[in-house]
Amino acid sequence: MSYEVIRTENFVSDAAKFVLRQARAALAERDEFRLALSGGNTPRPVYSEFARIAHDLPWEQALFTFGDERCVPPEHAESNFRMARESLFAPLSLPEKTILRMRGEIDPQLAAQEYEDQLNLLATQRGEFV
């Protein structure tokens, strides 16, 4: 994998376009697109812009996971899943099966183990989402 440093005057737009290019390349090469999302408020505008420009992607061939999550219910104000749902998933009407999340509403140790197991399984699969 090669790395690229991108200097930009418009981070939100350029980042969303970058993700869209990567998504299209992955779909062309592998017929699937996987994206691990960051949490917090920093990526929110990028997710919103991506949702605005990426309506034409075949979402049944996509899978979204989370690089981090807080152990809170999905409706909680601090939930990274909630932020992604509001800014990305809902605007695109993504199929539920394309989103793999840690269940922050259950015991944290159980939730973490369950999510780790799902990610480990996902790492061995191609084109078949859990």
- Residue 5 counted as domain residue: no
Cβ 100 vs Cβ 89: under 8 Å: no
Helices and strands, number each (H, E), in the chain: 5, 2
Dump pLDDT digits (tens) for 38-75.
999 899 999 999 999 999 999 999 999 999 888 999 99
- Residue 51 counted as domain residue: yes
pTM: 0.89
Dump pLDDT digits (tens) for 78-113.
999 999 999 999 999 999 999 999 999 999 999 999
- Residue 4 counted as domain residue: no
Structure confidence at residue 126 (pLDDT): 67
Average pLDDT, the chain: 93
Domain count of the fold of the chain? 1
CATH number of residue 106's parent domain: 3.40.50.1360
